[in-house]
Amino acid sequence: MSNALDTLKERLGEVSDINSAVSLLHWDQEVYMPPKAASGRGQQLATLSGLAHRMFTDAAIGDLLRKLQESDGLSPDDAKLVSEATHDYDQATKVPESFVQEFAIAQSKAYEAWVEARESSAFKTFQPHLETMLGLLRQKADLLGYEGSPYNALLGEYERGMTAEQLKTIFGELAPKQGALVDRIVNASDQPDLAWLDQEWNPDTQWNISLEVLREMGYDFDAGRQDKSIHPFTINFDTKDVRVTTRIHEKELFSGLTGSIHEGGHALYEQGFLDSDRRSVLGQAISLGIHESQSRMWENVIGRSQPFWNRYAPRLQAAYPGQLDGRTPEDFYRAINHVTPSLIRVEADECTYNLHVIIRFEIELALVEGDLAVADVPEAWNTKMKEYLGLDVPDDTNGCLQDIHWSHGSMGYFPTYALGNLYAAQLFETIEEALPDLWTQVEAGDFAPLLGWLRKNVHEVGRRNTAVELIENVTGKEPSADAFMRYLEGKYLPLYGLRD
């Protein structure tokens, strides 16, 4: 049996190595690749991705997995490895290669149409392609199988164990509460002063500050690096090579830094997998929601807190001589937590962000379940934007065409952004109990206790738990919006001089 296990581990390790090369090809494409290399790179990515898929779905791996499932001499970790690999194998083999190819072709056409539609703000251009993608997504759901809503099959690719039914309950509770809070904030008389931010901020200084903060957070620069890209991202080739990117705008003091902190949170998660899980499915993220909980916790709960700015406000003042005179840490804290409903999700603040996600979830669910026609997406979008955020959508570019996801055939992905916020708040209530001196430590730049807690309770778990199991194990409660709403109200009511 140990022979079969070793063979399995070696074969999965090889697939992992190829996937690492695929990731490096992607990383390079985003940060350093010269423009004319694009078509060659596309070819290389197609070849290697296809190869990794073929190697992983090889019948010999299925045989090994079946053999090992029947064995009862495996250690708990090895048994988990076999069951997780079996899950991935089943998912991968349920979808025939002909379907994967058809999907990829439709994807690429839909992406092109989306780019064009977005430029001319013409949903009609995108509509037939979204119809095709939706048809394929429904087929995919059938191929993968599901209980309850077909949406569950799609959601399960990103957030295994979570269901549309659960999301409806959680989001159904969250949306009105969050909407009411935003309403109060928007109407509060005590709005933050933002005029002092309207300056130019030296990009090199911004870059150096972002490196300093990453270092203090505990990001290991001997096992990673930061580069610049158009869209910030985190990518890993190995637990010992987890890289982040950021983008710097001269007119914006905070966006590069918060981008770095956000990606740093993702990266600390991936640098925190166990050494013994290298090249194994156990040394992988549980779900996108858990991944996002790590980035959001560092970015928002820590990086937009008053103690954090008690530490970093003076540093920024020293780094930009003459530009920040007379500003208090509270000025920074209030400015970086400025709440304002806006049309664009990726620019949304903590208080409004989930509302953007919920709009997308409701539309996706209705599409997949057949309750909404693709042609009616713009109207549904605009109605919901008015209802949840009080905004009129001027055109589809600033409305239902703003995100790339649907053109890629990603449905079930958006909810994981909101789940990340909820998980982060829920985990953080437990952390505050476990680490009573946490905020003093943050103010002193001592992030080691927090990181140590996350390592032990989240990172090192790898894929040994599902997201729901992890949240329940660690917090003693099932995932809900309660902690998040307590967090939001506890932070934003005083921040805007509002009574509870």
Give the number of other CB atoms < 10 A from CB of residue 429: 16
CB of 107 to its own copies, least distance (A): 20
Is 263 marked active-site? yes
> Of 263, 299, 362, 364, which is the active-site residue?
263
Q: For residue 305, give the nearest of 132, 102, 487, 81 by alpha carbon.
A: 487
Q: Which is nearer to its own copies, 43 or 276 (CB)?
A: 43
Length of the chain: 500
User: CB–CB of 414/364 below 8 Å?
Assistant: yes
CB of 266 to its own copies, least distance (A): 16
What residues form DSSP beta bridges with 485? none
Q: Which is nearer to its own copies, 179 or 283 (CB)?
A: 283
Q: Which is nearer to its own copies, 30 or 472 (CB)?
A: 30
**Which among 9-17, 92-100, 397-405, 489-497 is the span making contact with its own copies, rule CB under 8 A?**
9-17
The H or E element spanning position 137 is helix 123-144
Task: Rule CB under 8 A: say whether 100 interacts with its own copies.
Answer: no
Residue selected from 4, 51, 144, 186 as contacting its own copies according to rule CB under 8 A? 51
Residue selected from 266, 279, 296, 384 as contacting its own copies according to rule CB under 8 A? 279
The H or E element spanning position 82 is helix 76-94
CB of 219 to its own copies, least distance (A): 11
Residue selected from 7, 30, 48, 196 as contacting its own copies according to rule CB under 8 A? 48
* 472 three-state secondary structure: helix
- Using CB under 8 A as the binding criterion, the count of chain residues that bind its own copies stands at 38
Q: Which is nearer to its own copies, 334 or 459 (CB)?
A: 459
CB of 237 to its own copies, least distance (A): 7
> Which residues, in sequence order, are CB contacts of 345 under 8 Å at separation 6+?
353, 356, 357, 360, 402, 403
Residues 14-43 that bind its own copies (CB under 8 A): 14, 17-18, 20-22, 24-25, 28, 32-37, 39-41, 43
Residue selected from 278, 327, 338, 345 as contacting its own copies according to rule CB under 8 A? 278
Q: For residue 279, give the nearest of 51, 474, 9, 96 by alpha carbon.
A: 9
Whole-angstrom Cα distance, residue 251 to residue 309? 20
Residues 109-148 that bind its own copies (CB under 8 A): none
Residues 300-319 that bind its own copies (CB under 8 A): none
Residue selected from 225, 247, 315, 405 as contacting its own copies according to rule CB under 8 A? 225
Q: Which is nearer to its own copies, 16 or 132 (CB)?
A: 16
Whole-angstrom Cα distance, residue 29 to residue 227? 12
Whole-angstrom Cα distance, residue 463 to residue 284? 6
In eight-state DSSP terms, residue 410 is -
Residues 233-252 that bind its own copies (CB under 8 A): 237-241
Phi/psi for 291 (5° steps) reads -60, -50
Q: For residue 489, give the nearest of 351, 390, 389, 305 by alpha carbon.
A: 351
User: CB–CB of 412/155 below 8 Å?
Assistant: yes
> Which residues, in sequence order, are CB contacts of 221 under 8 Å at separation 6+?
211, 214, 215
What residues form DSSP beta bridges with 86? none
Q: Which is nearer to its own copies, 12 or 141 (CB)?
A: 12
Q: For residue 424, give the nearest of 295, 282, 272 by alpha carbon.
A: 295
CB of 450 to its own copies, least distance (A): 22
Q: Which is nearer to its own copies, 35 or 476 (CB)?
A: 35
The H or E element spanning position 173 is helix 164-186
Q: Which is nearer to its own copies, 181 or 282 (CB)?
A: 282
**Which among 12-20, 294-302, 345-353, 488-496 is the span making contact with its own copies, rule CB under 8 A?**
12-20
**Which among 82-90, 224-232, 323-331, 462-470 is the span making contact with its own copies, rule CB under 8 A?**
224-232
Q: For residue 306, give the nearest of 124, 164, 442, 118 by alpha carbon.
A: 442
CB of 52 to its own copies, least distance (A): 10
Within 343-414, residue ranges assigned H as helices are: 353-368, 377-389
Residue selected from 161, 179, 224, 479 as contacting its own copies according to rule CB under 8 A? 224
Residues that bind its own copies (CB under 8 A): 13-14, 17-18, 20-22, 24-25, 28, 32-37, 39-41, 43-44, 47-48, 51, 220-225, 227, 237-241, 278-279
Q: What is the set of active-site residues?
A: 263
